[in-house]
Amino acid sequence: MTLFVSLAVLLVAAATLVLLGSHRRGAEEPARQSILSTYRQRQRDLAHERALGLLDEDSFAELSQELEQRLLDDQALQVTRRGGDSLPRWLWGLLALLPLTTLGFYLYFGELSGWQAQSLLERSQQQAQAGQDHSATLAELSALLEEQLQRRDWPRGRYLLAQVELERGNMEAAARQYGRLAEEEPRDAVIQAQAAQTAYLAAGQQLTPEVRERLQQALALDADQPTALGLAGIDAFERGDHAAVQQYWGRLLAQMPADAPAAAAIREGLERARQLEGASGEVTSGEGVAVVVAGPAGEAAQGTLFVFVREPGTPVPLAAARIDRPRFPVRVQLTDAQAMDPSRPLSAAGQLEVVARLSRSGQVQAAEGDLEASSPTLTLEQAAEGVRLTLK
């Protein structure tokens, strides 16, 4: 749109100059006619004087020559003035070439490639939705993005190319592009996590030093980054650190809707980690906080239920759980597996407070219309015996 507006402004400016030049020439036409009329009248006067015998042939010829010279001088003067008021020819040429030059620069350096990429991406999505083979479209899109990235630095195009290569199953190319993005965006937790994941897949699902470095950087930027939590749990499993598996995947599970396709797999992984650690999988006294949440009397439950444990006076929870479309009464057990921060395990808390909130909007932040209940300040031992809350 910026290009079209700029071209329109340039074309209007050029047209205005042309019209002004035409108007000036139109205004000069009467002056030229006046000079010619005076010249013709004087010629007739000289001819009349010669006919009356007032001028001989030599005088008539001399005066006629002077009159013609004066006409030529007047016309030359008028042309000089007009030329001084008009634009130089080279400037007219520049005005004519400027819109074309602007368009050429745009086609080479601008976002036309972005339009083409978006068109190919939409075509690929349509083909995929229709069950058609879209591999040729993805290959064409990949080639277009590669060509543009060789010409200029284009972060959006590089991110799109990384996603395209990931969809094509070309893990090495995807890891290479995500790696470049991670170097350019060292403070972006999402990019760091995606770079770690694609490097992990490109290495044949091996947790190389590069993968672990990216992973640690992502978690340092955002301790709840889902992709990083999932991969960190895999890393902990391979290292045999089953307590860390429960911490990472517990925090990941707390972010996921209960009926999410991946939630079941995460629960199975947590159960396996508990078994390997020697836990029974059931939270007993002293192992966590057992909470029973009763719904509002005479009202159907609508929304998302959040249950979290926090230290009194501290807004950031120690552990949290999320239940979509709850059926009351809801029983929740919170342990270190649901800890929001591994450095702040629930088992190390002195005093704590249990809060339940039924969010109408599905957002964890409290809003008007939400129902909430909270416990008094408890010790971990008291909370482990069971906490009952009734939403109001």
**Structure tokens belonging to residue 347:** 């088992």
148 near 154, Cβ under 8 Å?
Answer: yes
Rg (CA), the chain: 41
Query: According to the model, what pLDDT value does residue 7 have?
Result: 58
Query: Do the domain assignments include residue 282?
Result: no
Closest CA to 340 of 254, 265, 216, 268: 254
- The string over 354-376, giving b where at least 16 C-beta atoms fall within 10 Å of a residue's C-beta and e elsewhere, is bbbbbbeeeeeeeeeebbebebe
**Do residue 12 and residue 75 come from a single domain?**
yes
At which of 54, 89, 108 does a domain end?
108
Q: Is residue 233 part of a domain?
A: yes
Q: Give yes or no: residues 270 and 300 share one domain.
A: no
Rounded to whole angstroms, the Cα distance separating 201 from 297 reads 51
Whose CA is closest to 331, among 269, 283, 260?
Answer: 283
Residue 145 shares a structural domain with residue 204: yes
DSSP string, 274-311: HHHHT--SS--TTSSEEEEEEPPTT----SEEEEEEE-
Judgement on whether residues 68 and 199 belong to the same structural domain of the protein: no
Q: Check residue 348 and report its DSSP letter.
A: G
Mean pLDDT per 10-residue run, the chain (392 residues)? 59 61 52 66 71 72 74 60 52 60 54 65 78 84 80 79 86 91 92 93 90 91 91 87 82 83 86 65 55 71 84 86 79 80 81 91 83 91 87 86
For residues 102 and 163, state if they share a domain: no
The pLDDT value recorded for residue 17 is 58
Q: What is the CATH number of the domain that holds 179?
A: 1.25.40.10
Say whether both 97 and 47 belong to one domain: yes
End-to-end CA distance of the chain: 53
How far is the CA of 322 from the CAs of 24, 247, 254, 361, in angstroms? 78, 16, 6, 13
65 contact partners, CB below 8 Å, separation of at least 6: none
316 closest CA partner among 350, 284, 339, 288: 339
Structural domains in the chain (count) = 3
Specify if 123 maps to a domain: no
Alpha carbon distance 53, 89 (integer Å)? 52
DSSP string, 5-20: HHHHHHHHHHHHHHHH
Let me know if residue 330 belongs to a domain.
yes
Predicted pLDDT of residue 190: 93
Task: Report which secondary-structure segment, H or E, holds 200.
Answer: helix 189-202
Q: 171 and 199 in one domain?
A: yes
Q: Could you tell me if residue 129 is inside a domain?
A: no
* C-alpha–C-alpha distance, residues 354 and 359, integer Å: 16
Residue 91 lies in domain: 2-108
pLDDT value at residue 10: 62
Residue 195 and residue 322 in one domain: no
Cβ proximity of 296 and 391 under 8 Å: yes
Q: Is the dihedral of CA 197, 199, 201, 203 positive or negative?
A: negative
Decide if 167 is inside a domain: yes
Q: Is residue 45 part of a domain?
A: yes
* φ, ψ at 281 (rounded to 5°): 90, -10
Of 240, 256, 277, which closes a domain? 277
- pLDDT for the residue 85: 47
Co-location of 140 and 249 in the same domain: yes
Q: Are residues 263 and 311 in the same domain?
A: no
For residues 146 and 238, state if they share a domain.
Answer: yes
Same domain, 91 and 209: no
Residue 256 belongs to a domain: yes
